[in-house]
Amino acid sequence: MKIEVFEMERWQSQWENVVEYNLAESGVDPLTVEELLGGPEAVQELGRRQMLYNQGNGTLELRNLISHFYPGATRENVLVTHGTCEANYLAIWRLVEPGDDVVVMLPNYMQIPGLARGFGARVMPFRLREDRSWAPDLDELNRAVTPRTKLIAVCNPNNPTGSVLSEAAMDEIVSVARRAGSWLLADEVYQGAERSGQTTPSFWGRYEKVIVNNGLSKAYGLPGLRIGWTVAPAELIFELWSYKDYTTIASSVLSDLLARRALDPAMRERIFARTRSILQRNYPLLEEWINGHGADFSLVPPAAGAIAYLRYRHSINSSQLMERCIREQSLLVVPGDHFGMDGFIRLNYGVPPDHMHAGLDRLDRVLSTVGEQKGVGGQGPGFRHQAQTG
Ligand SMILES: Cc1ncc(COP(=O)(O)O)c(C=O)c1O
């Protein structure tokens, strides 16, 4: 099977640990192991762990902890995965056959559209609309979904826009999925990273054919643990586990242990409070920087995630801008091109303020050499792919 390049991850893999300033992440400044462990006892417990194969679907304790966040779920509804990305991968691998229709929210983290096309599906978009503050075009969803639709994939809170679906939009998405009998896959990895502190409701429990994927990389600031999970009907979870036998077999024992620590309710609250305080401290700083640029940028304020999806009005293609930032300023930003939308960049504001300011200064240096072009980054949805097919 040939698969298209996952552009954003390819660039991040190449550059994120090489550049001096990385504003391309989407989570908050990660925790240290020490911060997570919190004391010598826990360090000693970690030291006593035997480096055996962990329980393949995740330890009972970890699956129990996760299931408590999803009313009505038990540990039989939970599979622990190697990050949210493995949870997404397993679901698409199991469910999507050549010739299936898959309807995907755009813009989005492009893993699911890329994989679905790789497995032979016809991928059709339904878009979040900038002119509606990134609310979804539900008419487009209704037109795209038919009885041939195997799966509808949403990302809520959304990457890259940071928008959160309204209850009414969630209801409509569920009813469209129900009408078609399709699976509904909700990637909820930014849940808990809301600036307001109001946790985004889950799709779990709204429909029998819901798959919810989540993980510790964003709202918890623990991407290095590589822990994610799927919550789904028990029969599907059992099948997905057997697919996992072919990918990563099990998570690391150390990650499972540290994940249990992070998901302990009191610690989870502390971690979410930390995440929120970073977002609330940094967002006004970013806003100030944007406001200082007059009409150069426009931004629909993100509700969640440490990401700002900025429309810019400079006469440069977004990938060219990113390449210049890397080569001239050792700065990594995400170009809108990676979401099929030129004229945008995605900036991370979850880093320490001095790092963010230094990164933004470097971006300024590049942009100061680029003119403004009418029509580039102008009006309209800005999508490169008006219709995507298999
Ligand atoms: C929507 C979305 N899903 C999944 C992932 C991958 O996350 P993880 O590190 O949990 O594998 C990302 C990473 O950026 C993401 O934005």
pLDDT band at 381 (very low <50, low <70, confident <90, very high): very low
The answer to which of 40-44, 118-122, 281-285, 336-340 has the lowest mean pLDDT is: 40-44
Question: For residue 108, which atom of ligand 1 is closest to its CA?
Answer: 1
Report the pLDDT averaged over residues 150-159: 98
State the CATH architecture for 51-264: 3-Layer(aba) Sandwich (3.40)
Residue 380 has pLDDT above 70, yes or no: no
Report the pLDDT averaged over residues 253-266: 96
Question: For residue 8, which atom of ligand 1 is closest to its CA?
Answer: 14
Single-letter amino acid code for the residue at 94: R
Predicted pLDDT of residue 372: 65
Q: How far apart are CA 251 and CA 226, in angstroms?
A: 8
Token readout for 280 is 């609330």
Report the pLDDT averaged over residues 317-338: 98
Query: What is the length of the chain?
Result: 390
Residue 79 has pLDDT above 50, yes or no: yes
Residue 84 has pLDDT above 60, yes or no: yes
Predicted pLDDT of residue 43: 85
189 CA → ligand 1 middle, Å: 6
Residue 389 has pLDDT above 60, yes or no: no
* Of residues 212, 157, 158, the one with CA closest to residue 339: 158
Predicted pLDDT of residue 38: 86
Provide CATH 3.40.640.10 ranges for the chain.
51-264
The answer to whether the beta carbons of residues 159 and 149 sit under 8 Å apart is no
Q: What is the pLDDT of residues 98-124, one digit of tens each?
A: 999 999 999 999 999 999 999 999 999
With tokens 């969640």, the residue in question is 304
162 CA → ligand 1 middle, Å: 13
Predicted pLDDT of residue 373: 56
Q: Phi/psi at 178 (nearest 5 deg)?
A: -65, -45
| Opening angle at CA 83, ends 330 and 43, nearest 5 | 90
Q: Phi/psi at 304 (nearest 5 deg)?
A: -150, 160
Beta-carbon contacts of residue 19 (< 8 Å; ≥ 6 apart): 326, 330, 331, 332
The answer to which of 222-226, 255-259, 375-379 has the lowest mean pLDDT is: 375-379
Average pLDDT, the chain: 94
Q: How far apart are CA 322 and CA 159, in angstroms?
A: 18
Q: H-type helices in the chain, by residue range?
A: 7-15, 33-37, 40-48, 60-67, 83-95, 111-118, 138-144, 167-180, 234-244, 253-263, 265-291, 318-329, 353-367
Q: How far apart are CA 30 and CA 307, in angstroms?
A: 15
Q: How far apart are CA 390 and CA 383, in angstroms?
A: 17
Residue 150 has pLDDT above 50, yes or no: yes
Question: For residue 190, which atom of ligand 1 is closest to its CA?
Answer: 1
Strand order in the sheet with 334-335: 297-298, 307-312, 344-348, 334-335
319 CA → ligand 1 middle, Å: 21
Single-letter amino acid code for the residue at 229: W
Q: How far apart are CA 57 and CA 80, in angstroms?
A: 5
Q: Specify the CATH number of the domain 7-31+268-367.
A: 3.90.1150.10
Of all residues in the chain, the percent with pLDDT exceeding 90 is: 92
115 CA → ligand 1 middle, Å: 14
Residue 167 has pLDDT above 80, yes or no: yes
Question: For residue 305, which atom of ligand 1 is closest to its CA?
Answer: 16
Residue 374 has pLDDT above 60, yes or no: no
Minimal-distance CA residue to ligand 1 atom 6: 85
- Please tell me the pTM assigned to this model: 0.95
The set of protein residues with a Cβ atom below 6 angstroms from ligand 1 is 26, 83-85, 109, 155, 159, 187, 189, 215, 217, 223, 228
Report the pLDDT averaged over residues 151-165: 98
Q: Phi/psi at 152 (nearest 5 deg)?
A: -110, 130
Predicted pLDDT of residue 386: 35
Provide CATH 3.90.1150.10 ranges for the chain.
7-31+268-367
Predicted pLDDT of residue 375: 45
Report the pLDDT averaged over residues 321-332: 98
305 CA → ligand 1 middle, Å: 11
Cis peptide before 160 (omega within 30 of 0): yes
Q: What is the pLDDT of residues 263-314, one digit of tens each?
A: 999 999 999 999 999 999 999 999 999 999 999 999 999 999 999 999 999 9
The answer to whether the beta carbons of residues 25 and 16 sit under 8 Å apart is yes
pLDDT band at 213 (very low <50, low <70, confident <90, very high): very high
272 CA → ligand 1 middle, Å: 17
